[in-house]
Each structure stands twice: as structure tokens, then as C-alpha cells.
Amino acid sequence: MLSNVLGKEILGEDALASSVAEFGVDLPDAATTQRLGRRLGQLCPPGTVLLLSGDLGSGKTTLVQGIGACLGIAEPISSPTFTLINEYLEGRIPLYHVDLYRLEPEQVSSLELENYWGGAETAPGLLAIEWSERMLEPPPSAICLRLEAISGGGRRATLTAVEEEQIALLEKVIGDGLLADEI
């Protein structure tokens, strides 16, 4: 079951003791994927961490582009596959875009990503981490978003949260008719 996979591999064992809410959304095209990103950018408060997973070409960067558009970031957003971290500071809140594709799990800790979700050295913003399943120690509080290709074209996004305020946030994201069903 997807919630168990996400719970154990991304959120950690402790998250399984909490209530887990999953929401599924069909995204027929890139425009709808960006629209989901815009909703997240509109509603996520500073300090939100999004753990993004999915195969190559599943729409992770397209989603982050939608987030950036809603935050008012004018600079083109591309995947930081080689730079690892792109910081966009000119928006309503900062957007920190991380791509762990080229790293082995043991290498991820050297990036000191906890500085982004802990606010120790960066202004609180929205942290979007592509290939988050490569993290050995994910943040204690995060929203997981998995993108998968579906038969007939398009993508399916599965959004998972464990904290009450995150669940309420996802209900708002889903609630405007863009998004379909709760799993």
C-alpha cells in the first residue's frame, strides 16, 4: 500500500503512529500539474517541506514551476540536477528547490538540508526536494507528493500528510475542484 511505503521510506516509522491522510489527484497534462503547484504555492506557509518523488519525467519540476509562479518568482525554474540546490529569494516567500537525483543516499547529509527546514541559516520558505526517497533522514514534518504515470496518459499525484495542519492544508488544496478523491 502506498501510505505504508511513503510512511516507512520517507516519513519514518514514527509517522505511522500518527494519523496519515492521503489524497489522490489525476493530472491529465502539464498545465494541470502546474495548477496543482500554484495551489500549493498559494496555500503553503513558510517552513513547508514538500518531499517529491516519481520517475524521470513524471512532472516534479513542472510542479515546482507552478509553485514558483504563484510565489511571484520571475526567474525561470529548472531542475537543479547538477547544482543540487536552487534558491529563489525574490518571491512572496523564498523557494528552495533541491534535486537529489545524482546523489547516493549516504551523500545527501553533506548538503545539510536541515538548515532549510530548521531555519538556522536561511529565511523560512518553501522547500521542494525532488528524489526525496534518497534521504536517509527526512525532515520530521513534511508533505509527501508522489507523481506516477497513469494508463491513458497523464499523471496521478498522491499527497500524504501526517500532521493535522498539513492535512487541513491539503484539504484546501484539493477542495477547489482541481483535485479529485481522497484515498
Q: Domain ranges in the chain?
A: 2-9+19-182
pTM: 0.82
Give the pLDDT confidence score for residue 157 in this predicted structure: 95
CA distance 18 to 174: 21
Give the tens place of pLDDT for each residue, 16-44.
Answer: 445 889 999 999 999 999 999 999 999 99
The terminus-to-terminus CA distance of the chain in angstroms comes to 11
Residue 14 pLDDT > 60: no
CB contact at 8 A, 57 and 154: no
Q: What is the pLDDT of residue 178?
A: 53
Q: Once rounded to an integer, what is the mean pLDDT over residues 66-74?
A: 95
Q: pLDDT-derived band of residue 3, with 50, 70 and 90 as boundaries?
A: very low
Question: By mean pLDDT, which of 51-65, 82-96, 109-123, 126-140 is the weakest?
Answer: 109-123
CATH says 2-9+19-182 is which class?
A: alpha beta
CA angle, residues 65, 36, 93, in degrees to nearest 5: 55
The residues pairing with 54 across neighbouring beta strands, listed in sequence order, are 147
pLDDT in tens, 129-183: 999 888 888 887 899 999 999 888 899 999 999 888 899 999 999 886 554 443 3
Under 8 Å between Cβ of 36 and 27: yes
CA-to-CA distance for 107 and 157, rounded, in angstroms?
27
Average pLDDT of the chain is 82
